[in-house]
Structure 1
Amino acid sequence: MADRRRTTIGATVSAAAVVGALALATGLAAAGQAGPDAAGTDAPDSVPPPPATPLVDTVRLPDGFQPEGIAIDPGDKTAFFGSLADGSIFRADLVTGAGEVIGTAPGTPSVGMALDGQGRIFVAGGRAGDARVVDPDTGDVLASYDLAAEPESFVNDVTVTDTGAFFTDSTNPVVYHLPFDAAGELPAPAQVRRIPLTGDIVYGDGINANGITASPSGTNLIIVQSNTGLLFTVDPTTGVTDRTGIVDVNGDGLLIGGDGLLVLGQRLLVVQNRANTVVELQINAAGSQGDIVGRITDQRFDVPTTIADAGDLLYLPNARFGIEVTPDTEYEAVAIDRP
């Protein structure tokens, strides 16, 4: 093009340049492309997004509620809390902190809780030995399951994977599996699997298997045994357990009182309830090896039990174990920065 302009007479070059410039300007305008503004500076390529709506750092729960479990829907910034007292579920708006009890309390505990991809709330029933699946909008029970075959049981915590919901029993060495079908539908009661825990874990007095989550790779489950402070991987098909190797340069690597678990990438957070501490581990994909890389404490902790993710914040309900509970006892959940 440059060579052609040099071999064309001057009048022709000038006309062509004018036509070309007009065509270019018209094309840019039609395409909606940004050009120089009146002052000769480039217009911004895009408008920056508005700042994220801040979330509350404290959620006030009903007096006498006795919270334990928590589940969060980060999409609509809603948290759900379960009551050890009567099984009530409290739904809270994390933007305003306002909330309400949904549904009808069953009169038995709500302990660990988890949400699945369809928004259903899975609730561990504690000493009732059962599990419930609850509608997050109405609190209606969509399905209920008698999990424990033994009269003495404590169905403590739950995690949800692509294959279904898995529950721990702190009294009996077993994991309960509610398998989903290909469409994610809930199983019939007869389809519930009771998977004996074998291998390295040994049950003793007190609270045994407690918190449960999936490993980063999704191939294993991870559980913490509260009374021994040990972590284990669990084969979700066979129930074979292997003790997780933990490197802790500042201690013995034991997580006594380990309760709720949360995996963030290849980090595992373990709530040590009565120690008022969240322990942070860097773990491998299978969950079979971990290094303790940090411990988080907060003066607002008052025996936190479980933990859930809400973007830049993590929320923990204060169970306040060990105090005298009255109908006027105050409870709350507190937020900490995500490490």
Structure 2
Amino acid sequence: MADEPKHVEQDAAPAEMRDPFVRRELTRAAVWLGLAGAIALAVLLVQPLLLIFAGLVFASLLDGGVRLLGRVLPIGRGWRLLIVVVLVVLFLLGTFYLTGVQVTQQVTQLRSTLEVQFARVAAWLAAQGVMPGASDVGGMVRQAMGSVGRLTSWVGTAIGALTSLFMIAVIGLFVAMEPRTYGRGVEWMVPTDKRREFALVVDRMSKTLRRLMAGRLLGMLAEGVLTWLALMIGGVPMAMILGVLTGLLAFIPNIGAFISGALMIAVGFSAGTEVGFWAIGTYLVVQTFDGYVLLPIVARKTVDLPPALTLGAQIMASALFGILGLALADPMTAMMKAALERSSERSEEELGDDSRHT
């Protein structure tokens, strides 16, 4: 008994989880590691996440058509969705069937025209001393068009493009079939006391997205048709493909209009000075009509996004996520705007409740 120690330490060792200090530090470390892991996972999964979001955007388009059709056809939602899908498929097939050959020819002609116009501009700049000598212009043109060709080849790879479009269409179709089922599934992952507020925010974001897509489709249709008719009247070559491109690029405000205008003017001047000035006038008239007549009307009925906010979001989204992020920048911004507006309303409601209690 004499060998037994007089005092035995009862406190926890530093390596034991019973130590409050160790527990606190391990909790902090776990939080930071979890945050870093979540960021790394988001970076790795950014393309699949964008495809899922694109599917949700497509679902909002289908859902908007179903709701609009429900105002005139009092039938079940499934039948209305079937009618909308059939109409979309028929429209796409009819468009490709009627204009496919002509558009294919004009796309080839458009690329050749742009190559020639780019070479002319580069040669003029070289003559002014702005660019390297004329001997380097041909190499620069070939290099630039080779880069464009590689980019076009990458974007237009049959398997990748068709797979992405197929996945977007499938996700959008399934979500549009039973939106409440997927909504309840997401709500289930939210704490019980936050579910009502979460459901309200999601409902507002969905409504905002539907309105934005409806307005965007109207603007795309108007710009494409007006551009096509005006260029055709003025004798601008490839009026149809330019109208189609203008309508498609109108999905991306600001940047899309600049790109379509540059293509339009380049093709116009390839047919002569007068035709080039007609193309410039067409671009100015269409954009003026869209900016001062159509856009204010659509914005009052849909979503009013400030141009500077939209452009800033497009720049950041394109830098972070590429071309797909650029195309989806507007829906992202509109949904975040709706969520922030609801957060502001909730803060005002809480302040009002506190003032009444006091």
Say whether the fold is shared (TM-score over 0.5). Answer: no
> Could you say which TM-score interval applies, normalised by the shorter chain?
under 0.3
Normalising by the residue count of structure 2, what TM-score does the alignment of the two structures yield?
A: 0.23
Normalising by the residue count of structure 1, what TM-score does the alignment of the two structures yield?
A: 0.24
Higher strand share: 1
